[in-house]
Structure 1
C-alpha cells in the first residue's frame, strides 16, 4: 500500500516532515514497512507551542463546534476503515480479525464523547445563601500530552482522543515508535477535514529525549499514559517541573480465579481468548491463573484442546488465529520467564518452543503449572501468550494470594455459586473485577488502583480528568 500519508507527523494543522527518521517493522515478517519522520527536541517544542496557541482558539470553541468536528473526523475514519485496519495489521502483526477492536473503539470513542459532552452543563447553580449566588462551571484543563502503548495503536489513541476533543483540550499524541502508522494516518485525516490547528498533534520520537522533553515542559497541564508502571514513574518524575494532572493506565498482575464449581468451558474459553488474541499482549490479560485442585485435569485437558487448534501466522487470507509478539526482544523476555519457572519446579504442559531462525516474533500459546510465588513469572506481568497456573484448595486463602501484589488493574472470578462469586469479587482489591465473563466498552470505566494507575479511561468519568471545575460566587 502507499505509505505517503503515514510517514509524516501532524503538527499545528499540517502534515510535517523532519530530518529525523525511523523505520517501522512488521513483527510477523521482520520486514521494514516504511520510514517515517519522527520528532526531535526542536519539533517537540514546535508542537508544544502550537498546542499552547490552540488553548486560545480550540479551547474556546463551543461544545456544538467540537461535536461537529468530532463527527467529521469520525465519518472520515469510517470512509477509511480498510486502510486504518490494514495499518494496524501491518505494524502489530495481529490477525485481521483482531484489528477490528482497534478500529471500532476509535469510532465508538468519537461518537460516545460527542454525545456525552453535550450532557455537561456549562454553568450550574449550586446554592444561594447570605446574599450570594454560587455557580459551578467546567473549563478545559489545557494542553494534554498523551503517550500510547504499541499493543492497540488505535484503541489506545481513541481512549485519549475522544475526551480531549470533547472538552476542548489541545492534545499532543505520541504513539509508540513501534506502531505509529495508524496514528499518523489519523493525523492525515485530521488535515484532510481541516481540523483547527493545534487541536490535535500526532508525532512519534525517541522516548528518552522527546518524551522527557514533552513531560518536563511547563506547557502541558496534564500527562496521560497507557504503558508500564516503570514508564509511569519516569513520566511523573520528568513532569515534576510544574504542577500537572496525571491519568495513567499502567501494568498489572491479573488474578484469574477458577473455583471448583465454575463453568469450566466458559472460564477456559475466555482465558485462552485473552491469551491468544493479540498474542496475550493485553493489559487486562490474566497473569496468575488460580485453579481449584479438584478440576486440575479437566482444566488442563480443555486448555490443551484449545491450544491444539491455534495456528500462528500473518495475513488477511490465512486461517491463522494468533499473530506474533511485538518484537523478538519481547519473545526472549517471555521465554525467559517460562524457562526460569521450569528451572524452579514448574511443569511445561504445552508450547514453550520456537524456531529462532524463522521470521517473525511468534511464540505459541504456552501453559505451565505448579507455579509458586518464588518464580519471576508469578510476580511480573507476562504480557504474552503464557498460561501460568497455581492450584489451590479449601485450605488456601485464594483471595489473599490474588491480592498479594502492589498492582490493581483487572481481576476475574468464575463460580456458579452466586454467594461465593460475590464474596470473592467484593474482597478483590483491583480496579476492575469481572465475574463469570468479560466485558469492556467505551461506556464502561477502565481504571486501575494501587500501582496500576491513576485517573480513568473510557466512560463519562474520563471527562473529569480533562476538565477543571470552577466556582463563581456573586453577591446579589
Structure 2
C-alpha cells in the first residue's frame, strides 16, 4: 500500500512501469526511507531480472515499429515540450518527492532541481527540431550526405543524489533523438522517476517508449547492460561501478556515456575577493550535503591568505542552516543513509588520525533520527591522504596551502579524477591561463556549480567520458549514417 510523503505531496508506488502501464514487480516490494528521519515512507516495486527483460522487450518493440523513432523530429519535439510544461505545472509534487527521497532541502528542489529538469526537456525538444545531417563534398560522382539516427533502446541508469536532474539529462536527449528507454533509478530514490512515468504518458509519449524498473541490487543494472535488446547505455554513478559497466558494455560493443566520480579542486589565489570566495567555497563543498559529483571538496589556498581563509571558514560553516529538508530555511540536509554517514565519518576520523587539523565539524548530529553530519573542514592535509585522493561524497572540505601557480595546478591535477575544477581570482589573465591547464570537464571561475542545459559537462581521467547537456549530449544518443547516391545513369 502506498504511503503519503511527509507534509503531503505524491505517494510511493509499489509497481513498476512497463509498456505504458503500472504492473506488479515480480520481486515484490522494498522499503523507501526518508533520510531526514530514518522512517519508511513507502514500499516501491522490487523488479527482477525477468522484469528488466519485459521492459527491454517492450522498448525494443516500441522502437522497431517506429511509433516514436518514425515520427518527424518536430512531432517528438511537441511531446517533450508538453512534458516540460507538465513538469512545471506539477513542480511542487516533484519538489516534495525529491526532498523526501534524497533529503534535499525543499528550497533547492524548488528553485534548482525541478526548473533545471524542465529546462533539459525543453532544450533537447527544441534542439532536435532543428538537428540536421550534412552534405559532404567529394570527388566521387555521388551526392553524399550524413544522417543522425537513434541508437535504438537506451538503458539509462541514474544515481541517488540528483534523481530528477540526472534522469532528465539522459531522457531528454535520448527521447528527443528517437530512442526508446529503460530507466533504472537508484533504489533509494524512485519517487521522481515514478512521477516522470505518468507525466510522459500524459504528455503523449507512446506506450513502451519509456519504461521504469526500480529495485535494490546490482543485478538489475547488470541485466540491463547485458540485455540483447539494449543498444546503448547512459550511466551516472561511482567510478568503481562505472568501470564494471564499461567492461561489460565493451565486451558487447555497446556505446556507453559514463559520468563518474569526482574530487574537484577549488583554487583560491591571494588576489581573490575573499568576501565572495568564502560563500563560493562553502557552496562548492556543502551543497546537497556534499553529495555532488561536481562538488569542490578540495580547497587549495595561496599561502599569504591560508590562515585567514581557515579562520573565516571555522566560524562560517557552523552558521549555515542545517536541519529538516522541509524547512524552507534549511541549506544543508541529511546524507542519504546511515551506512553512507558511517563512511563519511570514517574518512574524517582517518584523516585526523593521519595528522589533519580539524578546523570545524567532524561529528554526527542527532536530529529526529535522520542521517545528519556537520559540515567539516580539515586543514594541513597531505596530498597523498585518502580524503584527497578518494571521493568522500559528503560535507567534508580538505584545505591545502600552495606557493605558486604551478604548484596549485599540480595539486589540483594530482588525483585520478577530472570531472570539475574551479578558481577564485580577480586576474582575468590568470583565470584563462589556469582554466586551460586544469584537467577537468568543466571549470568555474569565481563561482561554483553553475549549470545550464546548453552547456555540456562530463569527465576526463577516472571521471568518465561522454557529456551530459548541450548538443554534445544529443549527438551521443545517435550514430552517423552516410548515404552516397550515384549521379551516373546505370551506375552499379
TM-score over 0.5 for the pair: yes
Out of 272, 291, 314, the residue aligned to residue 281 of structure 1 is 291
Note if 1:457 corresponds to 2:468. yes
Paired residue for 1:111? Answer: 122
Report SS of the residue matched to 1:114.
helix
Q: Distance between the aligned counterparts of 1:233 and 1:292, measured in 2?
A: 35
Greater displacement, 276-285 / 202-211: 202-211
* Post-superposition CA distance 1:118-149 (Å, at most 9, x none): 1212x532225342111111111111001111
Q: Distance between the aligned counterparts of 1:310 and 1:395, measured in 2?
A: 31
Q: Distance between the aligned counterparts of 2:142 and 2:415, measured in 1?
A: 50
State the 1:367 CA deviation: 0.6
Note if 1:298 corresponds to 2:305. no
Q: Distance between the aligned counterparts of 1:320 and 1:432, measured in 2?
A: 28
Out of 37, 50, 65, the residue aligned to residue 42 of structure 1 is 50
Greater displacement, 396-405 / 333-342: 396-405
Q: Distance between the aligned counterparts of 1:311 and 1:475, measured in 2?
A: 69
The RMSD of aligned alpha carbons is 1.8
- Residues 5, 185 of structure 1: 8 Å contact kept: no
Out of 73, 77, 82, the residue aligned to residue 67 of structure 1 is 77
Q: Distance between the aligned counterparts of 1:205 and 1:240, measured in 2?
A: 25
- Residues 216, 240 of structure 1: 8 Å contact kept: no
Paired residue for 1:89? Answer: 99
User: Which 4+ stretches in 1 moved above 4 angstroms?
Assistant: 2-5, 355-358
Q: Distance between the aligned counterparts of 2:405 and 2:478, measured in 1?
A: 49
Greater displacement, 219-228 / 6-15: 6-15
Q: Distance between the aligned counterparts of 1:372 and 1:208, measured in 2?
A: 35
- Residues 372, 390 of structure 1: 8 Å contact kept: yes
Report SS of the residue matched to 2:452.
coil
Q: Distance between the aligned counterparts of 2:90 and 2:315, measured in 1?
A: 38
Q: Distance between the aligned counterparts of 1:158 and 1:410, measured in 2?
A: 21
Report SS of the residue matched to 1:68.
helix
* Post-superposition CA distance 1:91-129 (Å, at most 9, x none): 1111111112221122101110111011212x5322253
Q: Distance between the aligned counterparts of 2:485 and 2:282, measured in 1?
A: 60
Paired residue for 2:490? Answer: none
- Structure 2 unaligned blocks of 5 or more: 488-492
Paired residue for 1:367? Answer: 377
Q: Distance between the aligned counterparts of 1:399 and 1:107, measured in 2?
A: 36
1:466/1:43 Cα in 2 relative to 1: closer, same or farther (>3 Å)?
A: same
Report SS of the residue matched to 1:153.
coil
Note if 1:51 corresponds to 2:62. no
* Post-superposition CA distance 1:138-173 (Å, at most 9, x none): 111111001111001101111111101110100111
* Post-superposition CA distance 1:192-225 (Å, at most 9, x none): 3442012111221233211111111122111111
Paired residue for 2:18? Answer: 11
1:268/1:41 Cα in 2 relative to 1: closer, same or farther (>3 Å)?
A: same
1:320/1:436 Cα in 2 relative to 1: closer, same or farther (>3 Å)?
A: closer
Report SS of the residue matched to 2:47.
coil
Question: Superposed, which structure 2 residues align to 1:246-265 within 5 Å?
Answer: 246-265=256-275
* Post-superposition CA distance 1:338-381 (Å, at most 9, x none): 11111111111111112469611100111110000232101111
Q: How many residues align?
A: 475
State the 1:52 CA deviation: 0.7
- Residues 218, 241 of structure 1: 8 Å contact kept: no
Greater displacement, 419-428 / 329-338: 419-428
Note if 1:171 corresponds to 2:181. yes
Greater displacement, 296-305 / 100-109: 296-305
Note if 1:310 corresponds to 2:320. yes
Q: Distance between the aligned counterparts of 1:177 and 1:130, measured in 2?
A: 54
Report SS of the residue matched to 1:98.
helix
Question: Superposed, which structure 2 residues align to 1:376-395 within 5 Å?
Answer: 376-394=386-404
Out of 32, 37, 44, the residue aligned to residue 40 of structure 2 is 32
- Structure 1 unaligned blocks of 5 or more: none
Paired residue for 1:244? Answer: 254
Q: Distance between the aligned counterparts of 2:60 and 2:136, measured in 1?
A: 32
* Post-superposition CA distance 1:199-255 (Å, at most 9, x none): 111221233211111111122111111111111111122324521111011111211
Out of 406, 418, 422, the residue aligned to residue 412 of structure 1 is 422
- Residues 12, 44 of structure 2: 8 Å contact kept: no
Q: Distance between the aligned counterparts of 2:203 and 2:436, measured in 1?
A: 48
Question: Superposed, which structure 2 residues align to 1:108-187 within 5 Å?
Answer: 108-121=119-132, 123-187=133-197
- Residues 187, 201 of structure 1: 8 Å contact kept: yes
Q: Distance between the aligned counterparts of 1:413 and 1:18, measured in 2?
A: 48
